[in-house]
Chains A and B, each alone.
Chain A
């Protein structure tokens, strides 16, 4: 056992370098998810009927189709319909990012709807246009209300970066496999436990940082009514 551990330790740097790919993917997913999710949420609350229906359809599709299937579709779809070859990182970013957008939009929508209508009225009464009011008055409040739900989503996305393994991206799980594949099967357990510990640390670190950010931006009296309800969606 001990010699196995030492052998795995030798692969540590290699595994951590692969982990950097998970981290880049994490940032890409969060960025896509946040931007698209915000747009979808705003459209769902303030859009006209056809736009609202489209946003709802988007949410439904990306929340109902499993992540693995979405990634396959984004990997094999573009060449098949003549867009050209797509690399696994981009396929994973689109599939998992848009999926996260569907979940994030649900969180943001709940938050927007929790803001008293008086806020919008007050903004409009000062001559702001609808979009201006949404951007300067509604969203800054909604994002703060979203923090608890969004933290959950963030933890989920950290773990979901491993799913890119399924489209062959050379991330930490795939590097781990190269360590224990073939003749080194006895290294499987220590290697995988090392990876698991990396994720425990990453999840804790992520939540800690989010806590710091939240305290920075917290405003007294601004909180989700009955807060504490979570919308966890990832394993």
Chain B
């Protein structure tokens, strides 16, 4: 069986800076993989290259048997099947919570307003924000905004969701509510690729952790392997450092 997502030899440079130097990995249906790595290593770039929000220079990406990186790929249709959750939420500022979740099902999937509204309400309840549908982004806390943005991704019925440091812009007391939603998604069998340094989350739901540095995957393995017997000294050092920084809360 071929994996749900396959990434092969992705390269990307900005000016003279080679940000991705050949990244390859796969993601099976229902799997959750966590990407960790120092700042500026290319983690965000990798996620954005996967659905071509940033065009990669070289390398290929498949969603099931469709090549996303193919020149003739229907990129908007493919993106509609891949959720993306941003570090800075990026909720549409002029729309309410309901409007944010509803707009893409209406305008991209072609649902009627009634259908889209029903769907959006259900997704908002799923992330625990049924009561907040009329609030504008500026009227929500960071944690609530991030949960709306997860609902926005879910409403498209995505095959997988990419998370780019979804909790790192949040005050510590708001991180738990977002991780909780993500944990239950993982348990429900959603396929997820998550850049995060929340090691508690990684330990409890990740099938695999990928350690990236300088644009390549240095090492990958199950959380147990990575924590107990990393193959590379750098992996151990880094895990040790972030475990100290972020603690092991919220597992």
**A touches B (Cβ under 8 A):** no
Q: Which residues of B contact A (CB under 8 A)?
A: none
